[in-house]
Amino acid sequence: MYPLAPLLTWSRRFFSSLGLTPAVGLFTHAVLAAIGERAGQAAFHPRRQVEHLVREGVGYGLLSDEQSAIVQRVLTLASRRVRDEMVPWDEVLVVQ
């Protein structure tokens, strides 16, 4: 892919300047809405594919339950905000 990076960058800029890239995005959202899927929740979304592969790996004994749990926790990070996980400095305990 590294040798193709300049071509991909040029293609993205070219098709964006023509207005085709946003048009494809709008078309995709329209199709997903027509079949009743929310954006990002489609079965072919990369997160869904990873979840499916992990479940399949556990089913075949290739992954342990612990490894599956780690992957599931990583996949849920997208829905978390840093603000929700932060601790104010005045509540931080320091070990010296």
Q: What whole-number percentage of the chain has pLDDT above 90?
A: 4
This prediction's pTM: 0.40
pLDDT score at 21: 77
Mean pLDDT of the chain: 82
b/e burial code for range 57-68 (CB count within 10 A of at least 16 → b): ebeeeebeeeee
pLDDT digits (tens, 9 = 90+) for 43-72: 667 777 888 888 888 888 888 888 888 888
Tokens of 74: 């990583």
Tokens 């954006």, residue? 39
Could you read off the pLDDT of 6-51 as tens digits, one per residue? Answer: 998 998 888 888 888 778 888 888 888 888 776 555 566 777 788 8
